[in-house]
């Protein structure tokens, strides 16, 4: 039987060989040479079992090889490489190997929203990442991020799937209007906060904070009644929700270690330094253990493009946020919508001193489309024309500023010019946020074509992620 073996996947244990291969039809298959005793799915051909890349088979492999299971990564510099298609992990691994830096990867990373739009489950995301780890021969620790969890039910589903990193998104509990409320309204909201869950009272809170002076990066920030009340009203309920999410997670998986990230990056207004201090101090007081925090920074962190805003002002604000981080010393700053933010990567590397987590998501999907622009231009043209039709609808749940009318007329472009559209601001965002609609319409054909161009996909992912990771290795 003709098999093209992935040499990097070959594992040997107790005289048994395990590996991935392509069969004579070009299909990817799992192979076992010799009877391991495990009940792998597949058909025997003499001493060789050939089977599918199924959940049953990866579960048996996880029991035999510990590195196929995700683990907590601690305070090490880390990067999450979201994979909406389930086949990007080998390309991500190629980039991590190439930068040869001390950056720990999170290969399984998906939000519940992304799962719904790509017709995947948290378990499927985990299994796809593990198969990629197996194929590429990655032996170092890696993590699995259940991203942007909003409910206790979300946590339960992802905990059962084996995730090690839980990103809590308390957006629904943030009061964005608190920044502009009148004093009387503010005081009423303050009294109505969930003090029982916060294990405090209005009186204790006021006594704790008012009058404090924070010495941060050469600046003295004085906490007064107005700024702390606004901070409390904006984030108090969100802190209480994070507390509930942490306790629920701990109760579910008390038998194994896990990590939690608190994300407030999708709020309408930036997180001020005083708000940052309040969030962390209250979480610490409540004994919520978290490894990273994602503030809402000034400027715009839009999908798939570089930072939009005043870089000098951003640096001044980042210096204050990282000064607060250093006050506590035991968590990382997390950069959400972090892919392709090349202008600010050096600033994060400088000010966090390695205590930073980079989170990317849709940029790997865009690189899949780059593959089609290179290898199947007619198919790429179909996808872009469809995405333009869906853009105004699909953009509603994203903070993007692309305009469909700014996308170059595809009918005027030659095939060789198509890959450059993946570097065009407006085209890039249009394609980024319509991924769910694209997958619903073209998913089967898209995945089949991408599978045939696996080597090209790995190469373009490697190039992109080297550029995303390298600034954090300096």
Separation CA 37–CA 219 (nearest Å): 65
CA neighbor of 5 nearest in space, from 35, 43, 32: 32
Active site residue ranges:
147, 261
Residue 167, in any domain of the structure: yes
Residue 148, in any domain of the structure: yes
Tens digits of per-residue pLDDT, 14-71?
999 999 999 999 999 999 999 878 799 999 999 999 999 999 999 999 999 999 999 9
The structural domain count of the chain equals 3
Question: For position 101, what pLDDT does the model report?
Answer: 81
In this structure, are 325 and 428 located in the same domain? no
Tens digits of per-residue pLDDT, 418-460?
999 999 999 999 999 999 999 999 999 999 999 999 999 999 9
68-95: buried (b, 16+ CB within 10 Å) or exposed (e) per residue?
A: bbbbbbebebbbbbbbbbbbbbbbbbbb
Q: Which residues contact 76 (CB under 8 A, 6 or more apart)?
A: 102, 103, 104, 354
In this structure, are 84 and 13 located in the same domain? no
Q: What is the largest CA-CA distance in the chain?
A: 80
Query: Could you give the dihedral angle defined by the CA atoms of residues 292, 295, 298 and 299, in that order, rounded to the nearest 10 degrees?
Result: 70
Give the pLDDT mean for 184-212.
97
In this structure, are 154 and 243 located in the same domain? yes
Residue found under tokens 């780890």? 133
In this structure, are 93 and 108 located in the same domain? yes
Q: How does residue 243 score in pLDDT terms, banded at 50, 70 and 90?
A: very high
Residue found under tokens 């392709």? 340
Q: With 90 as the cut, is the pLDDT of residue 219 above it?
A: no
Residue 425, in any domain of the structure: yes
Residue 472, in any domain of the structure: no
Of the residues 362, 391, 407, the one at which a domain ends: 362
| Cα dist from 12 to 36, 67, 134, 276, whole Å | 11, 14, 12, 49
**Residue 265 CB neighbours (<10 A):** 22
pTM listed for this prediction: 0.96
In this structure, are 265 and 339 located in the same domain? yes
- The tokens describing 455, both together, are 């080597």
Let me know: does 76 contact 106? Beta carbons within 8 Å. no
Tens digits of per-residue pLDDT, 281-293?
999 999 999 999 9
Question: For position 5, what pLDDT does the model report?
Answer: 98
Residue 147, in any domain of the structure: yes
Q: With 90 as the cut, is the pLDDT of residue 268 above it?
A: no
Of the residues 362, 392, 419, the one at which a domain ends: 362
Separation CA 257–CA 165 (nearest Å): 9
Question: For position 323, what pLDDT does the model report?
Answer: 97
CATH (domain of 273): 3.20.20.70
CA neighbor of 239 nearest in space, from 272, 269, 194: 194
Tens digits of per-residue pLDDT, 306-320?
999 999 999 999 999
What is the domain range of residue 430? 369-467
Of the residues 362, 381, 412, the one at which a domain ends: 362
Q: With 80 as the cut, is the pLDDT of residue 262 above it?
A: yes
| Cα dist from 223 to 211, 212, 423, whole Å | 6, 5, 44
Residue 183, in any domain of the structure: no
- Name the helix (H) or strand (E) containing 437: helix 435-452
In this structure, are 348 and 323 located in the same domain? yes
In this structure, are 432 and 337 located in the same domain? no
Question: For position 227, what pLDDT does the model report?
Answer: 95
In this structure, are 407 and 269 located in the same domain? no
Separation CA 333–CA 356 (nearest Å): 5
In this structure, are 358 and 373 located in the same domain? no
Residue 193, in any domain of the structure: no
In this structure, are 49 and 83 located in the same domain? no
Q: Where are the alpha helices (DSSP H) in 263-376?
A: 273-285, 311-328, 345-352, 363-375
Residue 134, in any domain of the structure: yes
In this structure, are 143 and 286 located in the same domain? yes
In this structure, are 311 and 425 located in the same domain? no
Can you name the residues that pair with 259 across neighbouring β-strands?
A: 165
Give the pLDDT mean for 360-369.
96
């Amino acid at each position: 039987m003709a098999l093209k073996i992935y040499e990097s996947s070959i594992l040997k244990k107790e005289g048994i060989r395990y590996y991935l291969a392509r069969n004579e039809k070009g299909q990817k298959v799992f192979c076992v040479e010799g009877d391991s005793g495990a009940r792998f799915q597949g058909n025997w051909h003499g001493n060789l079992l050939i089977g599918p890349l199924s959940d049953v088979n990866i579960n048996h492999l996880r029991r035999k090889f510990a590195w196929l299971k995700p683990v907590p990564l601690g305070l090490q510099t880390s990067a999450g490489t979201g994979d909406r298609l389930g086949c990007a992990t080998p390309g991500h691994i190629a980039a991590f190997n190439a930068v040869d830096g001390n950056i720990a990867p999170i290969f399984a990373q998906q939000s519940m929203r992304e799962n719904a739009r790509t017709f995947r489950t948290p378990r499927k995301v985990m299994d796809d990442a593990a198969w990629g780890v197996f194929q590429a021969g990655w032996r170092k620790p890696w993590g699995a991020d259940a991203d942007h969890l909003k409910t206790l039910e979300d946590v339960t589903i992802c905990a059962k799937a084996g995730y090690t990193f839980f990103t809590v998104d308390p957006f629904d509990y943030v009061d964005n209007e608190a920044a502009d409320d009148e004093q009387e309204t503010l005081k009423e909201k303050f009294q109505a906060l969930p003090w029982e869950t916060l294990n405090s009272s209005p009186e204790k809170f006021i006594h704790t904070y008012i009058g404090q002076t924070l010495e941060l990066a050469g600046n003295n920030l004085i906490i007064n009644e107005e700024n702390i009340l606004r901070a409390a009203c904006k984030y108090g309920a969100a802190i209480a929700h994070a507390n509930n999410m942490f306790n629920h997670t701990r109760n579910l998986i008390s038998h194994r270690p896990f990590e939690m990230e608190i994300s407030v990056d999708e709020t309408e207004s930036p997180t001020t330094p005083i708000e940052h201090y309040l969030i962390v101090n209250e979480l610490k007081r409540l004994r919520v253990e978290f490894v990273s925090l994602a503030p809402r920074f000034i400027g715009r962190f839009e999908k798939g493009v570089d930072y939009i805003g005043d870089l000098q002002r951003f640096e001044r604000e980042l210096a204050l946020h990282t000064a607060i981080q250093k006050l506590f010393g035991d968590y990382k700053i997390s950069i959400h919508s972090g892919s392709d933010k090349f202008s600010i990567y050096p600033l994060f590397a400088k000010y966090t001193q390695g205590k930073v987590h980079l989170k990317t998501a849709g940029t790997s999907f865009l690189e899949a489309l780059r593959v089609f622009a290179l290898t199947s231009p007619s198919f790429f043209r179909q996808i872009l024309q469809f995405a333009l039709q869906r853009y105004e609808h699909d953009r509603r749940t994203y903070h993007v500023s692309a305009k469909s009318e700014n996308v170059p007329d595809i009918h005027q472009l030659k095939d060789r010019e198509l890959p450059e559209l993946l570097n065009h601001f407006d085209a890039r965002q249009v394609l980024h946020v319509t991924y769910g609609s694209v997958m619903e319409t073209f998913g089967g054909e898209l995945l089949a074509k991408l599978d045939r161009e696996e080597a090209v996909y790995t190469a373009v992912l490697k190039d992109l992620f080297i550029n995303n990771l390298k600034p954090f290795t300096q």
